[in-house]
Amino acid sequence: MKKSLQKLKEIDTELQLISHTSALLGWDQETYMPRGAVEERARQQALLSGILHDYLTDTKVGSLLEACGVSEENLKGDNNLDERDRAFLRKFSREYFRETKIPKDLVVAFSEEASLSQAQWIEARKKSDFSLFAPHLQKILDLSREKAEKIGYTDHPYDALLDEFEPFATTASIKKIFSSLKPELMDLVRKIAGSKQVDDSFLLKNYPVREQEAFGRTVLQDLGFDFNRGRLDVSAHPFTTSTGSDDVRLTTRYQENQFRTGIFGIIHECGHGLYELGFPDDIKVSILAEGTSLGIHESQSRTWENIIGRSLPFWEYYFPKLKDMFPNQLRDVNLEQFYKGINKVEPSMIRVDADEVTYPLHIILRFELELALISGELAVKDLPEAWNSKMEELLGIRPENDAEGVLQDVHWSFGAIGYFPTYALGNLYGAQFFNSMKKSLGNVDDLIKQGDFGIILGWLRENIHQYGSIFTAEELCINATGEPLNPVYCSKYLENKYRSIYGF
């Protein structure tokens, strides 16, 4: 059994190396690859996907898992193995059983279409023309439905897709969370709308990109991001990817007349990057060196971006430095005005630029549309109108064009159906983790005010990062906070913060 386990770990290492190679090609496509290289890049990615699929689903892998006592009913294998090895087997066997149900030709077709679709999405977004992207989205949906049928599900085909990003979650569980969250958020938005609006006009002045980037890099280093093991670049849509255990790449985007976009994109992606760089040496280049779920991953980025990065103590430390860098833009602005300005709540079209109150409503919109698309209740041709109508229902605004509406997110183009709910879960997990951090560390605001982020990062390393995928999301949450996911922490955080800002 020990020999079989060791052989599985060797196979896993090679799978991770191939995955990192594919991630590097994906990062290059989003940052520096010339436009004319799209078709061959799609073939390269499809080839690697096929190789990964063949490698993972080889019959010898099934035999090795069986020798370790693994079955679909017992993913963790023999009880005599230590818990770290059983966690490895649970994670590896889930991937194995999932992939063996999906034919290789479907894997290759999905990968190739994702690369082509992504490139076409960029073009369609530039021209604000959904019709250019619609045929590719139709193919992505058809392939996603086929994948869901092959994998199997109990209640809804969306379950099979959601499980890829948020293991063990179900459509029913997400519906339950969102059904209670949605009216609370809409009520909070109404309370804020009935209060005197804060001024953020100073954030809409001209902030040269070069200076924005310099400031952002300083913040990144202060928060603990290691530029010897990572980098920051620009892309159409901010993202983080690991092209190696010691090679974590962040991207952001800048707008000269909207200061929030660049800096909070950087802090958000920093949270993802710190998680990826926080896996210990004994699980590096293994399937355990991953976030246990994308909801947990998102909790790290949303905690740094919003709970810390948009807090008053954070800007007590950074505002003088920012004012030195942009003296003309911030000449007549004091700390309180700046703090309120960066936390202005106002329904807006673009998800990545949304404030933290309205942001989850953007996610609920996408979740409801995804369910309708996958079930066939909503046709692709009707998606722009459905999108616009839901924007009116949830946020009270209506997009004027496809670029600020249905084409604003990259996720559907590369086949990430089932991904969006994890963004809202990240807000919930983040607030719960931060509540436990405060109980453990005492006055966290004083640490932030002093720019002492190392202690905060240390708590996250100890309670979240070091475990990678050893625990499930639920297990990790219970270990770190003493209870399963509880949305009340996020609701209380938002209510208290914005009551203070808006005085309702």
pLDDT digits (tens, 9 = 90+) for 250-293: 999 999 999 999 999 999 999 999 999 999 999 999 999 999 99
- Whether residues 143 and 193 share a domain: the answer is no
Residues 215 and 144 in one domain: no
The pLDDT assigned to 236 comes to 84
Q: What is the pLDDT of residues 464-480, one digit of tens each?
A: 999 999 999 999 999 99
pLDDT of residue 353: 83
pLDDT digits 0-9 by tens, 26-41: 999 999 999 999 999 9
Nearest to 112, CA basis, from 55, 50, 158, 54? 50
Phi and psi at residue 249, in whole multiples of 5°?
-115, 125
413 and 118 Cβ atoms separated by less than 8 Å: yes
Q: How many domains does the chain have?
A: 2
Distance CA 232, CA 240 (A): 9
Distance CA 391, CA 405 (A): 9
Structural domain ending residue among the three candidates 117, 152, 187: 152
Task: Decide if 346 contacts 355 (C-beta within 8 A).
Answer: yes
DSSP string, 263-298: HHHHHHHHHHHHHHTTS-GGGTTSTTSS-S-HHHHH
Question: The CATH number of the domain where 257 resides is what?
Answer: 1.10.1370.30
Q: Is 163 domain-assigned?
A: no
- Note the pLDDT of residue 162: 98
Within-domain flag for 165: no
Residues 311 and 225 in one domain: yes
What is the rounded (10 degree) CA torsion for 219, 220, 226, 229? -150
Which residue stretches of 166-306 are H helix? 171-193, 209-223, 259-276, 294-302
Same-domain status, 38 and 142? yes
Parts of the chain with a pLDDT under 70: none
Whether residue 137 is found in the same domain as residue 179: no
Q: What is the largest CA-CA distance in the chain?
A: 71
Same-domain pairing of 191 and 300: yes
- Strand 240-244 relative to strand 247-252, pairing: antiparallel
Q: What does the pLDDT read at residue 17? A: 97
- Is 166 inside a domain boundary? no
Residue 370 in tokens:
């995804």
Is residue 164 situated within a structural domain? no
Same domain? For 179 and 325 the reply is yes
CB 150 within 8 A of CB 103: yes
Q: Which of 12, 34, 112 is nearest to 415 (CA)?
A: 112
Q: Are 465 and 476 in contact (CB under 8 A)?
A: no
**145 & 185 share domain:** no
Predicted structure pTM score:
0.94
The rounded Cα 62 to chain-centroid distance in angstroms is 32
Residue 71 DSSP symbol? B
Q: How many angstroms separate the CA atoms of 383 and 406, rounded?
A: 7
- Do 389 and 424 belong together in one domain? yes
Q: Looking at the structure, do residues 175 and 305 belong to the same domain, yes or no?
A: yes
**CB-based burial label for 18 (10 Å; 0-12, 13-18, 19+):** middle
Burial 154-184 (b: 16+ CB within 10 A, else e): eebbbbbbbbbbbbebbbebbbebbeebbeb
Q: What is the pLDDT of residue 25?
A: 97
Instruction: Note the pLDDT of residue 352.
Output: 84
Same domain, 75 and 183: no
Q: Shortest CA distance to 250 belongs to which of 262, 259, 241?
A: 241
Query: Residue 162 is encoded by which pair of tokens?
Result: 């959601």
- Which of 102, 119, 152 corresponds to the end of one domain? 152
* Whether residues 494 and 396 fall in one domain: yes
Boundaries of domain holding 328: 171-502
- Which residues are identified as catalytic? 269
Q: Distances in Å between the alpha carbon of 261 and those of 254, 281, 306?
A: 6, 34, 13
Choose the final residue of a domain: 152, 187, 211.
152
Per-residue pLDDT at 181: 94
